[in-house]
Amino acid sequence: MAQTFIYQQETVNVGDTIRVHQEISEGKKTRVQVFEGLVIAIKNRETGKSFTVRKIASNGVGVEKIFPMLMPSIKKIEVKRRGEIKRSKLYYLREKIGKAASRVKEKSLFKNTAKAA
């Protein structure tokens, strides 16, 4: 069973594509930096919970960031796409290259419950 967490009424699961809005302070100025990628792991419980987001940067280089749940600089988390997975940790995506590295089947919102006659 994949792990999940709730951040400001937004449920985030492993396999989801999310955008993390993080506040960065540069001297006296602050700005919001967005990191968009695939959630490959959620670790620990309660206050020590953290999640790992992976994206493919320029030239096919994989970049991972680990965000603690209670990090005060995280302003917002948006779920762009829900993923349907069968594992709780997606570490196998680290070996994938190109488009295959971010390919996770999209979760269908409605299940077909009608039986064929």
Residue 42 to residue 50: CA distance in whole angstroms? 6
Global pTM reads 0.81
| pLDDT (0 to 100) of residue 6 | 79
Q: How many CB atoms lie within 10 A of CB 102?
A: 16
76 pLDDT band, cuts 50/70/90, is: very high
Tokens of 107: 């979760």
Residue percentage of the chain with pLDDT more than 70: 84
Domains delineated in the chain = 4-96 (2.30.30.790)
User: Is the pLDDT score of 41 beyond 90?
Assistant: yes
Report pLDDT digits (tens) over 1-36. 567 777 777 788 999 999 999 999 999 999 999 999
